[in-house]
Amino acid sequence: MHIGVEATKLMQERRGIGRYVRNVLRQMPRVRDDVRFTLFVRSAQDIVPLQEQMALLDPLLSQRCTIAPVSALPATAADVVWYPWNWLHPVAHRAAMVTTICDLVPMLQLDHRWWKVLNRAKYRTRFRRTVARSDLIITISAFTAREVERYLGLPFAAMRVTLLAADDLALHADRRPDTLTTLGIDGPFFMAVGAQEARKNLQVLFRAMTLLHERGMSVPLVLCGPGGPLARIAKREHAPWLHFAGYVSDPELGALYREATALVFPSRYEGFGLPALEAMAAGGRVICADASSLPEVVGDAALTFPWDDAHALADHMQHLLADPSLRAAKAAAAFSRAGEFTWEATARATLRAFDEAIVRAASSRSLQLGT
């Protein structure tokens, strides 16, 4: 099978969707011998850098890859083209076309900043065109498939769900995270990951942290990811407990997940919620909102709370701090739950979707030709 991949964001997106794409690509040659790839990048200048990235990622994958500018995608001779970044563009004229819709965040009323409001109509149009033109839609959770059905009218049964995984996260189990030493943290701490987006719901976490400190529990919160806007919020809200780690490496992130009292993931809307699964795979504990896709990911292994209830969140955090047996039980349950998700399974499910799309596209062309 010759698979084209719209890979214009692959070099820049190190986490999130980028991690998903790289792991699926890496696993596909291991589960099927006949696959080869053409990765389509923004311009010819990106070809060599992506070749180098693929060689470092996996030699077998690198051997199966050709890299070309995206301008060549419409005329590709691939059997199927995969669009993993939420929408389909540019159109492949002969190949079957499969799009992964990770979430519908860009078109939903989750963020009322003026530029987000202005962009919503554009994104609604993009999603509708994507659904209309794709031979098959993949989603990364059943929740997202239900959202596509609700907002875009595509029946749930017409989509294929390919859950993500976290079994690739590198861990350094033999040492204390360097980040904690740098931040001067010696003792229990909570951690969070993510950017300042309305749906990430970090304000509820900040209120819960304030409640904890009012109860006499002076525990720091380590925040990984972009920190500029949050630094201003922390200053305004007088949050001495907030420590910014910035972006950290995968081994460091895994060590932080393991050492933290818990990853607190209060997001009100996620297409999947990969940080929660990453923390569980690292042997850490998770407290997350009982919203969107998160219950589908964490099952009974995490402590959950209503996304807008800071007091319930603070109660969970306090219980974990006070109860070693609860911490141990939740860590064991989380690690067991994470073992149910593998990138190999994701790759197999994705290849089955590609097979189905190729059949659908051939059938559609036959109908158009009247045969």
pLDDT tens digits for range 346-365? 999 999 999 999 999 998 77
- Distance of alpha carbon 235 from alpha carbon 190, whole angstroms: 19
Beta strands across the sheet bearing 286-289: 242-246, 221-224, 190-193, 262-265, 286-289, 303-305
Q: Out of 17-31, 104-118, 127-141, 251-265, which region has the weakest mean confidence (pLDDT)? A: 104-118
What burial class does residue 48 get, using C-beta atoms within 10 Å of its C-beta: 0-12 exposed, 13-18 middle, 19+ buried?
exposed
pTM: 0.92
- Which residues, other chains included, contact 53 with Cβ-Cβ below 8 Å and sequence gap of 6+? 10, 11
Alpha carbons 37 and 80: distance in angstroms, whole number: 10
| CATH top-level class of 178-338 | alpha beta
Domain range 2-165+343-369, CATH class: alpha beta
Domain ranges of the chain: 2-165+343-369, 178-338
Separation between Cα atoms, residue 275 and residue 200, nearest integer Å: 12
List the single range of 63-72, 220-229, 325-334 with lowest mean pLDDT: 220-229
Over the chain, what is the mean pLDDT?
A: 92
pLDDT at 117 over 80: no
Question: Lowest mean pLDDT: which of 115-124, 132-141, 161-170, 209-218?
Answer: 115-124
Burial readout 131-169 (b: 16 or more C-beta within 10 A, e: otherwise): beebbbbbbbbebbbebbbeebebeeeebbbbbbbbbeb
Half-sphere exposure of 204 (CA within 13 A, CB side): 25
| 96 within 8 A of 358, measured Cβ to Cβ | yes
Q: Calculate mean pLDDT across residues 22-41.
A: 96
Q: Give the C-alpha separation, 149 to 296, whole Å.
A: 18
| Residue-level pLDDT at 246 | 83
The pLDDT, as a whole number, for residue 8 is 97
Q: Is 201 left (phi over 0), alpha (psi -120 to 50) or beta?
A: left
Residue 221 to residue 213: CA distance in whole angstroms:
11
DSSP state of 343: H
Same fold, 2-165+343-369 and 178-338: yes
Give pLDDT tens digits for 286-336.
999 999 999 999 999 999 999 999 999 999 999 999 999 999 999 999 999
- Match 């031979």 to its residue by tokens: 135
Above 80 in pLDDT, residue 230?
no
